[in-house]
Amino acid sequence: MTKTVEEPAVDKLNHVQSGGVHKEAKKPRVKQAKYAMLLGYQGKKYYGMQLQKDLPTIESKLLEAMEKAGWITAAQREKPFDFFFQRAARTDRAVSAARQMCGMQLPRDDEKYKVDGPGILNNLLPNDIRVFGMKRTINFFHPQKQCDYRTYSYTCPTFVFAKPTELTNAAFRISQETLAEVNDILSIYKGTHNFFNYTAKRAYDDMSSNRYIVSFECKEPFLFRDEFRKEDVEFIQIVVKGQSFVLHQIRKMVGMVITVVRELHLKSAIQRSFEGQRMDIPMAPGLGLLLERTHYDSYDKKHSKDHEPLTDWGEIIEKEVERTKFELITKDMLETELLSQGMLKWLADLVHHDFSSNPEAEEPEKKTFVTMAAACANKALKEQEATSSEAPEASEGAPEGAPEVACAPEAAAPELAAAPEKPQIEEEEKVAAAGSS
């Protein structure tokens, strides 16, 4: 009789050996916590905030530094959503931020992140990206969804608002009258509007194009020294606060305001841009755009008893933010503008901008300061002739109290009203020459 020897079954799951069960030891559970990170950066070298494959972005550098510090794994660096990494605003290419907010879930260690964290990361980050502080938040904190408002600024030379009769150069100084006009035009954007014309690939009936603007104003001008050309250039800062913004919206709003102030388009075109007709709106350069602050007023009010505020980070950090903002961002922004003359180059092309987006539309007449000046001169001459025909006994000079001649926005230089008389003078010279011969 053959004796059957039964081999002991091997249970891979429970590691059954020699009749005994040895369960695999469980790893100790690491408690997790949500943290908010406040950072600032000079964006001119980067392709925006958000992670993009094979392109340098702010997030790619930040995640790389966090991995080197041992805060996250290589897998989490490749898939940051695995540790719930989010940002408050997706800034575009070359756009900077003074107070960007990020949220993430990390092993709970307040001392490590809140006290030592900023210094550890700043030693690993490039000099144009700075972490200012970290705070514990509620477990369901989301920096983008719980952000009430975002404040941006756009800094540019004041000569962008030069009238057709004024020179667009470093010597330009904006008048209080023009400054008031700029603020009046900016106020048109306040409230809720459909900004489908101010972004890309969105239709008029796309409800996501509706955005709410709280405030939009132009601050007082300031001078900055151009050391290369040894001259002072006047700059100005436009500040906008809104609930959220679509891609390119702020730069296109600034571009539209500049166009209207320079009398290259009608003021009423802004209101029409919110309506159903497609319009190609010029987009101002990205260099001057800066994310100033993200606002968490509702969060701060709701969680004031058990969590630190996220809108105000305290006097020490706020002072460091302002210092870094000028040294790292604003100063470099102004120097780069003076060196590259980017705004002047953009203005040179602005006069040729075609606002029509219909490819079947007829080619519009190209406008320049010369054509606008001639249009104003012709208009002034026609009105003068009409006045003369109505009052034949009037003297050559304008009667006292006569109304001023108002040029249409397409017109430019009233001083050139005598220009159409030039052909008449040339004709008289030809007659005189013929008589002398």
In 3D space, the residue among 329, 278, 326 whose CA is nearest the CA of residue 44 turns out to be 329
For residues 271, 274, 278, 284, the Cα torsion angle rounded to the nearest 10 degrees is 80
- What SS3 state is found at 372? helix
Per-residue CA distances from 250 to 81, 151, 283 (Å): 28, 11, 9
The H-or-E segment that residue 310 falls in is none
152 is in an annotated binding site: yes
Q: At what angle do helices 249-261 and 342-350 cross, to 10 degrees?
A: 70
The H-or-E segment that residue 132 falls in is strand 129-136
Neighbours of 6 (CB within 10 A): 5
Residue in the structure block whose two tokens are 């990205």: 286
d(Cα 275, Cα 295) in Å, to the nearest integer?
A: 30
d(Cα 217, Cα 207) in Å, to the nearest integer?
A: 26
Q: Which residues pair with 106 in a beta bridge?
A: 33
Neighbours of 81 (CB within 10 A): 9
d(Cα 35, Cα 307) in Å, to the nearest integer?
A: 11
Question: 273 with 281: CB under 8 angstroms?
Answer: yes
* Cα first-last separation, the chain: 149
Question: 136 with 35: CB under 8 angstroms?
Answer: yes
d(Cα 283, Cα 194) in Å, to the nearest integer?
A: 17
Does residue 266 come out as left (phi exceeding 0), alpha (psi in the -120 to 50 range) or beta?
beta
Catalytic residue among 11, 54, 82, 92: 92
Q: What is the largest CA-CA distance in the chain?
A: 149
Known catalytic residue: 312? no
Known binding positions for substrate: 152
- What amino acid positions are annotated as catalytic residues? 92
